[in-house]
C-alpha cells in the first residue's frame, strides 16, 4: 500500500551562498537525481506540478515570487528544466495581524 500523497504540499529548502547573486529575475529548475525525493519505486514517471516558487532573502527577509511561464510547470526526473519568472503577488504586501 502506498502512502497518501496530498494534492497541495509545500516543501522548504535552504540554499546558501557567500556571494551576492544580485536580483533574481528567473529560476530554472531541473530534477537530476533522486536524493530528497526517491519515489522512483512508486511510479514509473514521477513528477511535480508547480505553480509558483517563493524565495526569501536571509539577511533582508525580502520575499520574491516566481511564477511558471505556463499556468503550471511539470517537473519530471530526467526531463527538460522548467522555468519560473519573477511575478507580483499581492498577498506579500499584506501584513497579517
Position 16 pLDDT exceeds 60: yes
Count of structural domains within the chain: 1
Give domain status of residue 32, yes or no.
Answer: yes
Using the structure block, give the residue that is written with the C-alpha cell 520574491: 64
Give domain status of residue 12, yes or no.
Answer: no
Instruction: Characterize 26-43 residue by residue with b for buried, 16 or more Cβ atoms within 10 angstroms of its Cβ, and e for exposed.
Output: eeeeebeeeeeeeeeeee
Give domain status of residue 17, yes or no.
Answer: no
Residues 6+ apart with CB under 8 A from 42: 2
Give domain status of residue 38, yes or no.
Answer: yes
Could you tell me which residues are beta bridge partners of residue 29?
Answer: 82
Residue 5 and residue 15: Cα distance in Å, rounded?
Answer: 25
Give domain status of residue 2, yes or no.
Answer: no
Give domain status of residue 64, yes or no.
Answer: yes
The overall average pLDDT reported for the chain is 76
Q: Which domain holds residue 58?
A: 26-92
What would the pLDDT profile of 21-31 be if each residue is shown by its tens digit?
788 899 998 88
Q: What is the pLDDT of residue 35?
A: 59
Give domain status of residue 60, yes or no.
Answer: yes
Give domain status of residue 11, yes or no.
Answer: no
Across 44-48, 72-76, 85-89, least confident range: 44-48
Amino acid at each position: 500500500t502506498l502512502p497518501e500523497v496530498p494534492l497541495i504540499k509545500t516543501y522548504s529548502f535552504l540554499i546558501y551562498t557567500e556571494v551576492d547573486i544580485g536580483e533574481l529575475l528567473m529560476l530554472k529548475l531541473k530534477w537530476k537525481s533522486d536524493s530528497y525525493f526517491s519515489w522512483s519505486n512508486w511510479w514509473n514517471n514521477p513528477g511535480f506540478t508547480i505553480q509558483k516558487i517563493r524565495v526569501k532573502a536571509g539577511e533582508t527577509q525580502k520575499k520574491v515570487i516566481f511564477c511558471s511561464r505556463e499556468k503550471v510547470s511539470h517537473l519530471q526526473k530526467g526531463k527538460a528544466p522548467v522555468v519560473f519568472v519573477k511575478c507580483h503577488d499581492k498577498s506579500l504586501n499584506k501584513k497579517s495581524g
